[in-house]
Amino acid sequence: MPATLPQDEGLPIAAVEQTTGIARATLRIWERRYGFPDPGRDRRGERSYPEDQIRKLRLIADLMNRGHRPGRLVQLTDEQLASLARPAGELASCSCPGGNALDDPVLLPLKNHDLAGLAHLLEESVRKLGLARFVLERMPQMNFNVGLAWARGELQVYEEHLYTEVVQHVVRNAMPARHHSSAGTHPRVLLATFPEESHGLGLLMAQAVLALEGCSCTSLGVRVPIRQLLAAAAAFHADVVGLSFAASMNPAQVLRGLEQLRGELAPQVAIWAGGSSPAIGRHKLSNVLRVADIRDLPGIVAQWRALHAGRP
């Protein structure tokens, strides 16, 4: 029988879902099947998750995004998970001093709450690498390292949120000026995630790559109801609806949402689905294009242009 925790000593399941990206239904299944997580109960008898379990869930979610299966991960210690998250071969490509994830230079100004310094550091990196390389090479490193620092207790949740806000500001300021594309030249892309998906940096990365390809992008952000997606696609005359899915999102929700969207969206509007969810890799959905890697986007845009060239 789970122990009763004071209400201020844990997070409710809805907050854990938002923080980790793991659906609450999945958390309950793991609890029954694997014995982890093992939440206590608050004064109302509701599940209450302590901080150490939330940190482990974040590590598990990161590793699921890399293709690992949860049944094995829940049995590992935090140290084993952290070690697995950063395999030896990956360090060679890391620009962090000494190759240690927690030596990433973005962490120091973040821990010191020096947001101006963090923004300056990121802006210098954009100038040095160019926006494309920054988004495709540097951002994945930083995102992982900030998440790992949080999982190890080096950062608090609000500090991770501050990182996200600063990155979004810097990347959006570096994007080329938005223009209205003509029919048959560049697609007008509407970007969003479904209501169950709270991760937004993948959308930002896609928006930057698409903007560099000359596309007119409108981002609705995260947790957008499908009905609102449909309304926005019509309002913005979208040629493409682009969606991002993390591996931790419930596969059934991914598939049901895509089927509903495809069934109700105008047939000439394409759907591009990216992210690490295994659902979009294992199931081929009619008239839904899987974007296996963000680096594939320029080629996909070129194919769209070739297909629609000269079409009124």
Q: Per residue in 185-211, pLDDT tens? A: 789 999 999 998 888 898 999 999 999
pLDDT score at 180:
55
pLDDT exceeds 50 at position 249: yes
Q: Kindly tell me if the per-residue pLDDT of 170 is higher than 90.
A: yes
Tell me the per-residue pLDDT of 87-104, one tens digit each, with 9 for 90 and over. 433 322 333 333 455 679
Q: Is residue 298 scored above 90 in pLDDT? A: yes
What pLDDT is recorded for position 90?
Answer: 34
Which of 11-20, 134-143, 190-199, 234-243 shows the lowest per-residue confidence on average (mean pLDDT)? Answer: 11-20
Q: In whole numbers, what is the pLDDT of the chain averaged over residues?
A: 84
Q: Which segment of 54-63, 213-222, 286-295 scores lowest on mean pLDDT?
A: 54-63
Domains, the chain, ranges and CATH?
1-85 (1.10.1660.10), 94-174 (1.10.1240.10), 188-308 (3.40.50.280)
Assess whether pLDDT exceeds 60 at residue 4: no
> Coil, strand or helix: which one is 240?
strand
pLDDT digits (tens, 9 = 90+) for 140-164: 889 888 877 877 778 888 998 999 9
**Average pLDDT estimate for 5-28:** 78
Quick one: average pLDDT of 269-273?
Answer: 96
